[in-house]
Amino acid sequence: MIQRLACLGWLLGFIMLSACDTPSLEIYVSPVGNDAAAGTLSAPVLSLQRAAQLARENSGQVPVTIFLSGGRYPLTTSLVLGPDDGGTAEAPVQWKAMPGENPIISGGIPVDNWSQEEDGSWSASLPSDYQGTFRSFYVNGKRATRARFPDEGYLRIGKAGGDKRTNFYFNDNDIPEIAEPERLELIFLHDWSVTRIPVKSIDWNARQLTAVDSIGSRLAFFTLTNWEEQPRYYLENAQEFCDQPGEWYADFENRKVYYRPAPGDRIEESTGIIPLAEKLIVIEGDEEQHVAYISFTGITFEHSAWQVPEHGYCGVQACMFSDRGADQSGWSKIPAAIELDLADHCSFVQCTIRNTGGSGIWIQKNCSGCEISQSHIHSISGNGVSIGEGQDRLADGVPWWISHPEEASTGNKVSQSLIERCGLQFHGAVGIWCGLVANTTIEHNEIRDLPYTGVSVGWMWTADPTPCRENTLNANHIHHIMTILSDGGGIYSLGLQPGSRITNNLIHDVQVNAGRAESNGMFLDEGTKELLIENNIVYDIAKSPLRFHKAFHPTMVSNNVLVCKDDTPPIAYNSTKEDDIQKVENIILSQSSESDMLRLEELLKNRFP
């Protein structure tokens, strides 16, 4: 027996020693490196592209770790990683920050050498090698405000023009006269979406503004007054509007950018950034071979660009839009700074994604086992995170979700992350959008400070079967959302989702809707069916904590705490049979009751210590 134990101990020791001797490759990158160097700690390479090239020679054969020293890594085009750049479970490819350092992958180019103007603003010449236009600008690490009017809040139209599509009349003294109205961009707010479109002309005598095309999607109900008779709007991009600290304006004909310094800005120490690269990282496989086992840890990604189409951005919902210039059917979607397509087991851990011109990160078609965790996603123009795709793509001439449902993205996860201040340009954006996806997990995130919805799952406006199923939204803290638009909620669902669960979430601070439709803690929209809503706490909601619209049996609402005003029902039913929604042991509390509020306080302590 003793001899057997000795042999077993020797064998275990040999296995451990062999594991320690497993070959691996380390590649080092530095902003002061040299691409002719070997990529060692003492001789790092300079560019991400060269590091990827060195890794490719061994990827999938041995574990590869690419260490990035602190500093800025500029990209003018995307870093594209394909199947040959990926790894395996035993030999992954890892991009990591050096311990204690903060590498920043930036898609922008710097602007400095500021001059003081007579009116107190600063000006700088655009870089000599820069050609084009930009719609986002960053100074000293912060997103500057594109010159706008009014500086805060919104205007409301006087009345719609005759076609209720392309023009409207404004109220007396609402829009100040400016020298070049054709440079303006109109931002027009629909209930749950936004249009950004160039102005064609302004007739100040008639008080009439005309856009270059239809304001809003060409869907039949997107007339100017479908939701309100006097909807909200504001204007951007006139030099006369550049009058508040932190605002900017670019004169592309004379190749100058103007900036009103914010408190604390020092002209000799300030740097502006023009975003240039539309996408920073693209991880893309193909139908024959997915890309797999690539991870990024401790890295910051910022300064992506996206240009609105020539005839404007006409949002439909959640960064889907009608692209009138594209030769395609269906809807387009705003791109993201980081995109994954046909990718498996790729991850972003302890990363920061910020200051983007489009969305933050998009896990697209037929991806599985990918994860975003312990990350901070903020200052985003579009969606913070997108997972999966909508209905429009065709496969073999048929919508993909019918002909190839196995191509749905499945088993992806977003956890322990802070997602905030998204939708800064495209206000119909959401914190996390999940389309026709399966087995997706969204848990233990904080999602806050959003103009529209916190988390959106599903993309079918009927109860027709799709691949969307078994998704879990658990233990998220969602608050201070719906700050600009309406007809959404902390959580929004669409369509049949067998086995899906919304559990243990804390949702609060949803202000009264500014448009026609109300905003809620959860909005369970058209086709919602086979969904479990359990153990959530929803309070400080201006309207009903839960709202169902064209939802169906079976849907279960159990053991939730719903806090509402005395004149507001805890659950609203729009075109939904109340009996179709099964309700079990929910706790209904009144905001006006002191004892109920004390009970809420105790429940919060117990469930969310």
Both 366 and 470 in one domain: the answer is: yes
The pLDDT of residue 195 is 98
Looking at residue 10, its pLDDT comes to: 36
Burial of 559 (0-12, 13-18, 19+ CB in 10 A): middle
Residue 177 has pLDDT above 50, yes or no: yes
Show which of 219, 251, 273 is a domain's final residue. 273
Least confident of 65-74, 200-209, 325-334: 325-334
Say if residue 150 is preceded by a cis peptide, omega within 30 of 0: yes
Q: Give the confidence band of 345 by pLDDT, cuts at 50, 70, 90.
A: very high
- pLDDT at 426 exceeding the cut of 60: yes
User: For 71-80, 183-192, 326-335, which range has the lowest pLDDT when averaged over its residues?
Assistant: 326-335
For 403, the enclosing helix (H) or strand (E) is helix 400-403
Confidence of residue 21 (pLDDT cuts 50, 70, 90): low
Mean pLDDT of 138-163: 98
The string over 58-74, giving b where at least 16 C-beta atoms fall within 10 Å of a residue's C-beta and e elsewhere, is bbbeebbbbbbbeebbb
CB 339 within 8 A of CB 282: yes
Q: Assign 16 a pLDDT band (cuts: 50, 70, 90).
A: very low
Quick one: tokens of 162?
């005759």
Overall average pLDDT of the 396-424 stretch? 98
Check if the beta carbon of residue 429 is closer than 8 Å to that of residue 318.
yes
Mean pLDDT, range 96-123, rounded to an integer: 97
Q: What is the mean pLDDT of residues 258-274?
A: 97
pLDDT at 22: 66
Residue 74: inside a domain, yes or no? no
Residue 325: predicted pLDDT: 77
Residue scoring higher pLDDT (246 or 218): 246
Residue 295 lies in a domain: no
Looking at per-residue pLDDT, the higher value among 35 and 7 belongs to 35
pLDDT band for position 13 (cuts 50, 70, 90): very low
Which residues span the domain enclosing 348?
A: 306-607
Is the pLDDT at 6 greater than 60, yes or no?
no
pLDDT per position as a tens digit, 497-508? 999 999 999 999
Q: What is the mean pLDDT of the chain?
A: 95
And the tokens for 354? 């910020």
**Can you tell me the distance from the alpha carbon of 295 to that of 59, in angstroms, rounded to the nearest whole number?**
13
- What average pLDDT does range 346-375 have in this prediction? 98
In this predicted structure, the answer to whether residue 4 has a pLDDT above a threshold of 70 is no
In this predicted structure, the answer to whether residue 420 has a pLDDT above a threshold of 70 is yes
List C-alpha distances in Å: 512 to 156, 206, 360, 519, 596: 18, 34, 28, 7, 22
Residue 210 lies in a domain: yes
Question: Maximum CA pair distance of the chain?
Answer: 103
Shared domain check, 235 and 130: yes
CA distance 127 to 129: 5
Same domain, 227 and 344: no
Predicted local distance difference test score (pLDDT) of residue 1: 39
Q: CB-based contacts of 333: which residues, under 8 Å, 6+ apart?
A: 319, 320, 321, 362, 386, 390
pLDDT of residue 298: 98
Query: pTM (2 decimals)?
Result: 0.95
User: What is the dihedral sign for C-alpha 591, 597, 601, 607?
Assistant: negative
Q: What is the pLDDT of residue 327?
A: 65
Residue at 257 is within a domain: yes
Cβ atoms of residues 491 and 504 within 8 Å = no
pLDDT tens readout for residues 46-63: 999 999 999 999 999 999
CA–CA separation, 88 vs 83, rounded Å?
Answer: 11
pLDDT of 205-215, one tens digit each?
999 999 999 99
Are both 315 and 256 inside the same structural domain? no
Does 176 reside within a domain?
Answer: yes
Q: For residue 350, which of 302, 297, 306, 394 has the smallest C-alpha distance?
A: 297
For the segment 285-313, what is each residue's pLDDT rounded down to a tens digit? Answer: 999 999 999 999 999 999 999 999 999 99
Interacting residues of 251 by C-beta distance below 8 A, sequence separation 6+: 239, 257, 258
What local confidence, expressed as pLDDT, does residue 254 receive?
96
CA nearest to 497, candidates 525, 469, 461 = 469
- pLDDT on residue 431: 98
Confidence of residue 244 (pLDDT cuts 50, 70, 90): very high
In a domain, 16, yes or no: no
Q: What percent of the chain has pLDDT over 90?
A: 93
Whether residues 233 and 340 share a domain: the answer is: no
> How would residue 346 be classed by pLDDT, with cut points 50, 70 and 90?
very high
| Res. 145: pLDDT tops 70 | yes
Same domain, 508 and 603: yes
Please tell me the total count of domains within the chain. Answer: 2
Same domain for 443 and 579, yes or no, is: yes
Structural domain includes residue 26: no
Look at residues 325, 324, 316, 321 and name the one whose alpha carbon lies nearest to residue 333.
Answer: 321
Q: Residue 19 pairs with which residues in a beta bridge?
A: none
Q: How far apart are CA 487 and CA 489, in angstroms?
A: 7
**pLDDT exceeds 60 at position 396:** yes
Supply the pLDDT for residue 512: 84
Is the pLDDT score of 8 beyond 80? Answer: no
Question: DSSP secondary structure string, 139-195?
Answer: ETTEEPEEPEESSSS-EE-SEE-TTSSSEEE--TTSS---S-GGG-EEEEE-SS-EE
What integer pLDDT is reported at residue 513 of this predicted model? 79
Whether the pLDDT of residue 32 is over 90: the answer is yes
Residues 422, 512 within the same domain: yes
pLDDT of 608: 86
Mean pLDDT value across residues 211-222: 94
Q: Which two tokens stand for residue 609?
A: 């210590």
Backbone dihedral region for residue 93 (phi beyond 0: left; psi -120 to 50: alpha; all else: beta): beta
The pLDDT value given to residue 14:
32
Q: Is 328's pLDDT higher than 70?
A: no
In terms of DSSP bridges, do strands 208-211 and 167-169 run parallel, antiparallel, or are they unpaired? antiparallel
| CB count in 10 Å sphere of residue 329 | 7
For residues 396 and 508, state if they share a domain: yes
Residue 282 lies in a domain: no
Of 273, 294, 315, the position where a domain reaches its end is 273
Residues 231 and 329 in one domain: no
More confident call, 326 vs 459: 459
Mean pLDDT of 80-95: 98
Q: Please, which pLDDT band fits residue 159 given cuts at 50, 70 and 90?
A: very high
What mean pLDDT comes out for the span 94-106?
A: 98
State the Cα–Cα distance between residues 139 and 264, nearest whole angstrom. Answer: 12
Distances (CA, A) of 250 to 143, 146, 247: 15, 9, 11
Backbone angles phi, psi at 45, to 5 degrees: -85, 170
